[in-house]
Copies of this chain bind each other. A is one copy, B any other.
């Protein structure tokens, strides 16, 4: 399930956590690392999400949402002292029957290199290791083909998605 991404060398595992994986990348000057453990600077995270065009959200609420998320993944441009956050995604869910993917973002400067696809492979693998049976997401029109191309089932059994907004 999911592709097996390369395991980094020991110093990187110590910096980014034992679940860290390398993200293959065309530019061999860059080392890119997926991590669930390297701590987020919430201002840097919001800058990333703003760079992909999402509206800024109060830091306090972002912190609470991350605390309640099942899985948070950062994609880091490695630096021994100051790694830079260039990608992000998170999941909510029970980790058993269901998980739902939200906030998938790759910084515009790094898009078009398959990093989003590697990110999804990393996430599906992590969820599979938890024993999650089914993963869901709500795709914007612009990314429907991105997910279909990776084997996601669009509205299986005629499922429709529905949203309810406060206010």
Contact = CB atoms under 8 A, between A and B. Distances in A.
A166 B133 contact: yes
Contacts of A67: 94
A95 B141 contact: no
Interface of A: 1, 57, 61-62, 64-70, 92-100, 102, 124, 128, 131-141, 144, 147-148, 151-166
Given A138-B161, A141-B157, A160-B141, A166 B96 contact: no
The number of times this chain is found in the oligomer is 2
Contacts of A99: 92
B141 A158 contact: yes
Contact of A140 (B93, B134, B147, B159): B159
B124 A164 contact: yes
A151 to B, nearest CB: 7
